[in-house]
């Protein structure tokens, strides 16, 4: 641990200004302060920190004891706290600076968490390159200053400041987010008395936190804060039921929204439309939320969604693999190295597939880093990032992310171009297992993209473990599906599947969707993923090194090594779970 030290504690030095040129809003010393300790006490008299009678007695007592008057003033207990700080600063050689609270830049509040600033009565008042000037009332909190240096990555210069001034700066830095009188709270599913207690204990931020934790316990999936008549209402929606949680007078709308935004670490400026994820700690663990702060025609409002946990029930054999595909995938996952690529016509469902593979092969204690476009689930033990965070923190560079976070496994929901895919190949080459998604119309096109990368084919086949193409199909509602006498046309069916489909036409009843209250009129009960798999076996690796043109080479590799989704497609059709139109792409 880095230890905070500052020389004035041990060496008498001049009371120098913090920077070569005094900052305009610092009054470094009052004009009437002289150089001696006696003159300092006379200044306290002028400022009202001492009375004439107290000063006379103090000087007499110091003369009898033959000690400095300033020292006697400190031990006597008659000085105002701000005057004590002034004497202490003068004794130690630390600048005593008066600060105009209104002139301290609000941006400096971002350097320290509110709890640390308040606990230590310490506020940053300026920043120059790699150094911050910290105004404190007690310069002896060495451990706190050391933590601040480590937290900010900046060197700390101390100045002693009156406690009252620091308090006023704290009020500007961390204003009351929700100044609602208790009598103006109207209870709903959350009682008025409970909400009043939350406000009393932790202001608006505490209220917002407790409302969200209440939502989690009550099974509420979405909390919305928006105007309703002359009030601003906090509603909870569980999907099946919508209920009023709390209500406040309409004039507190922006303050209430600001409390939720503050909890998520967001700003709510006039033109602000923001969205982010954040986490709260509960007695049962960490809960994740997504907040959207919007500005509509009637003003600002916010929507907070509870991100559900992705639990281990999403297993490898429950996502759509048929038994042979499950066995192959498990065998390749057990190697815990290389690159696994999942392509799909759209991004939907790719993250679920990759998470199922991660949970199959990486247990508690593994350092798994995931990057998604948007969090849909929270995963205990995973370092979960959204793509915009990677852009901000690592410049969108996967190699920088891997070097910084040092994952045991890396998951990227979607790569946007060949360069990103090439970066992931090199990361996998260094021994970090990589799971990534990519957009593609079919498996052949995905393989063409992979083998068009500017990389040695020998390296590629040594790194890639599995390429799969995933397509989601809609499952028919079993309550309202409708049998049809018509049979599918064989006109556009591929030669490899024509004979199988002709047999099925004779044996299978085909269904189409209808609609009922249970499926809310959609005719469907859910979705399922179907997969075409190409494991990079030694045989595939050997074929890749042949002298054939790439197109012919890939056609032969796919034809001889593909583990098709057709067994799953046939099973779904025979059980009447899908329409033929939805699975027709697998027959081409």
Check whether residue 153 and residue 219 sit in a common domain. Answer: no
Phi first, then psi: what are they for 581, rounded to 5°? -60, -35
pLDDT-wise least confident of 83-97, 119-133, 404-418, 455-469: 83-97
Check whether residue 374 and residue 516 sit in a common domain. Answer: yes
Tell me: the pLDDT tens digits for 152-208? Answer: 889 998 888 887 788 888 877 876 545 666 667 788 888 888 887 777 665 777 788
Contact 562, 443 (CB under 8 A): yes
Tell which of 255, 284, 307 closes a domain: 307
Query: In this structure, is residue 1 part of a structural domain?
Result: no
| pLDDT of 392 | 83
Check whether residue 220 and residue 294 sit in a common domain. Answer: yes
Query: In this structure, is residue 2 part of a structural domain?
Result: no
pLDDT-wise least confident of 84-93, 334-343, 379-388, 417-426: 84-93
Which has the closest alpha carbon to 530: 492, 578, 574, 498? 578
Check whether residue 336 and residue 296 sit in a common domain. Answer: no
Map residue 450 onto helix, strand or coil: helix
Tell me: the pLDDT tens digits for 367-388? Answer: 889 998 887 777 766 888 888 8
The total of structural domains in the chain comes to: 3
Higher model confidence: residue 476 or residue 240? 476
Q: Which is it for the CA torsion 306, 311, 317, 318, positive or negative?
A: negative
Q: Is the confidence at residue 1, as pLDDT, over 60?
A: no
Check whether residue 531 and residue 384 sit in a common domain. Answer: yes
Tell which of 173, 195, 228 closes a domain: 173
**pLDDT band with cut points at 50, 70 and 90 for residue 340:** very high
Helix axes 387-394, 398-405, angle to 10 degrees: 80
| pLDDT of 281 | 66
The domain that holds 21 is classified in CATH as 3.30.300.160
CA gap 464, 22 in Å, rounded: 61
Q: Is the confidence at residue 14, as pLDDT, over 60?
A: no
Q: Calculate mean pLDDT across residues 514-543.
A: 89
Query: How far apart, in Å, do the first and last CA atoms of the chain sit?
Result: 64
Q: Which two tokens stand for residue 109?
A: 């509040």
Check whether residue 123 and residue 169 sit in a common domain. Answer: yes
Residue 477 DSSP label = P
Check whether residue 327 and residue 298 sit in a common domain. Answer: no
Check whether residue 451 and residue 422 sit in a common domain. Answer: yes
Q: Is the confidence at residue 226, as pLDDT, over 50?
A: yes
**pLDDT band with cut points at 50, 70 and 90 for residue 579:** very high
Check whether residue 246 and residue 303 sit in a common domain. Answer: yes
Check whether residue 264 and residue 320 sit in a common domain. Answer: no
Q: Is the confidence at residue 439, as pLDDT, over 50?
A: yes
Percent above pLDDT 70 for the chain = 80
**pLDDT band with cut points at 50, 70 and 90 for residue 329:** very high
Check whether residue 286 and residue 387 sit in a common domain. Answer: no
Tell which of 155, 173, 191 closes a domain: 173
Range of the domain at 198: 182-307
């Amino acid at each position: 641990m880095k230890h905070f030290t500052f020389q004035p504690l041990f060496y008498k030095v001049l009371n120098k200004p913090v920077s070569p040129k005094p900052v305009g809003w610092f009054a470094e010393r009052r004009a009437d302060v002289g150089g001696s300790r006696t003159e300092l006490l006379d200044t306290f008299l002028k400022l009202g920190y001492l009375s004439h009678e107290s000063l006379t007695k103090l000087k007499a007592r110091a003369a009898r004891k033959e000690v400095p008057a300033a020292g006697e003033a400190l031990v006597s207990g008659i000085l105002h706290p701000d005057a004590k700080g002034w004497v202490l600063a003068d004794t130690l050689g630390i600048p005593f600076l008066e600060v105009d609270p209104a002139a301290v830049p609000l941006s400096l509040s971002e350097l320290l968490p509110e709890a640390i600033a308040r606990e230590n009565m310490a506020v940053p008042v300026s920043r120059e390159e790699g150094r911050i000037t910290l105004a404190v009332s007690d310069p002896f909190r060495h451990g706190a200053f050391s933590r601040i240096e480590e937290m900010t990555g900046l060197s700390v210069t101390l100045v002693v400041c009156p406690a009252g001034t620091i308090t006023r700066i704290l009020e500007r830095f961390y204003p009351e987010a929700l100044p609602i009188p208790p009598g103006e709270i109207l209870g709903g599913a959350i009682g008025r008395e409970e909400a009043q207690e939350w406000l009393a204990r932790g202001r608006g931020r505490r209220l917002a936190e407790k409302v969200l934790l209440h939502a989690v316990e009550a099974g509420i999936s979405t909390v919305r804060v928006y105007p309703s008549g002359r009030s601003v209402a906090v509603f909870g929606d569980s999907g099946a039921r919508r209920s009023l949680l709390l209500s406040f007078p309409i004039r507190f709308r922006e303050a209430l929204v600001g409390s939720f935004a503050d909890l998520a670490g967001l700003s709510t400026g006039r033109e602000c439309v923001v969205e982010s994820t954040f986490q709260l700690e509960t007695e049962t663990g960490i809960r994740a939320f997504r907040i959207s702060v919007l500005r509509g025609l009637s003003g600002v409002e916010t929507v907070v969604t509870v991100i559900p946990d992705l639990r281990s029930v999403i297993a490898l054999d429950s996502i759509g693999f048929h038994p042979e595909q499950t066995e192959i995938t498990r065998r390749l996952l057990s190697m815990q190295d290389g690159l696994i690529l999942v392509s799909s016509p759209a991004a939907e469902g790719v993250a679920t597939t990759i998470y199922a593979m991660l949970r199959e092969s990486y247990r508690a204690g593994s350092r798994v880093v995931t990057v998604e476009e948007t969090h849909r689930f929270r995963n205990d033990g995973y370092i979960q990032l959204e793509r915009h965070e990677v852009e901000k923190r690592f410049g969108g560079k996967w190699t920088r992310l891997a070097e910084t976070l040092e994952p045991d496994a890396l998951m990227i929901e979607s790569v946007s171009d060949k360069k990103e895919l090439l970066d992931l190949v090199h990361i996998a080459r260094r021994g970090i297992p990589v799971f990534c998604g990519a957009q593609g119309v079919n498996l052949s096109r995905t393989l063409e993209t992979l083998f068009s990368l500017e990389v040695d084919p020998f390296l590629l086949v040594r790194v890639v473990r599995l390429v799969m193409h995933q397509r989601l199909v809609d499952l028919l509602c079993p309550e309202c599906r409708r049998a049809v006498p018509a049979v599918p046309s064989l006109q556009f069916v591929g030669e490899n599947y024509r004979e199988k489909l002709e047999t099925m036409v004779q044996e299978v009843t085909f269904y189409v969707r209808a609609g009922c209250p249970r499926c809310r009129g959609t005719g469907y009960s859910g979705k399922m993923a179907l997969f075409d798999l190409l494991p990079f076996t030694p045989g595939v690796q050997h074929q890749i090194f042949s002298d054939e043109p790439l197109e012919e080479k890939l056609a032969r590799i796919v034809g001889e090594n593909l583990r098709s989704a057709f067994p799953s497609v046939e099973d779904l059709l025979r059980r009447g779970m899908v329409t033929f139109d939805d699975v027709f792409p697998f027959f081409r």
